[in-house]
Amino acid sequence: MTVHALYQELIVEHGKRPHHKGTLPAPSHAATIDNPLCGDVVTMQLAMEGERITDVAHTGHGCTLSIAASSVLADRLIGLTLVEARALIAAFETMIATEPDAPDRADELGPLAAFAGVRAFRSRRACATLAARAVSRALTR
């Protein structure tokens, strides 16, 4: 696999122009995660109505992978229930941790499947999952 495959068009676009960047006025859930190996830091904030995520925002700094993953994940989480959000994050983390030739689970992950190329680059897996780990931590508080 080439490095080009890692930075698919969707990832590059979200890295340059991330969706939901900023803060929420009154988040119900929030967590910050950092990757001390590369210096990436991501804060994910969620607003809930009952069991459903109604809005998501993210801040931080880091590489294109961590910024793009925060953006795509934020897009994907809005409208999900807590149970659905936890299942999505688990599926995403499982996809990133599996062997490079494993199926990308596009039907389940939607645009998050664009990160399947990260599997071939062990050192970049933490960058791609930083936002997912922040959301998981936020949902356990």
Q: Any idea how long the chain is?
A: 141
Lookup result for tokens 């590369």: 38
pLDDT attached to residue 63: 93
Region 43-50: mean pLDDT is: 97
How many domains does the chain divide into?
Answer: 1
How far is the CA of 97 from the CAs of 48, 62, 87, 100, in angstroms? 29, 20, 15, 9
pLDDT tens digit string along 15-32? 999 999 999 999 999 999
Higher pLDDT, 87 or 2: 87
Q: Which of 28, 61, 62 is nearest to 45 (CA)?
A: 28
Parent domain of 49? 3-139
pLDDT attached to residue 82: 95
Region 46-56: mean pLDDT is: 97
Instruction: Give pTM, 2 decimals.
Output: 0.91
Higher pLDDT, 19 or 38: 19
Find the CATH number of the domain harbouring 28: 3.90.1010.10
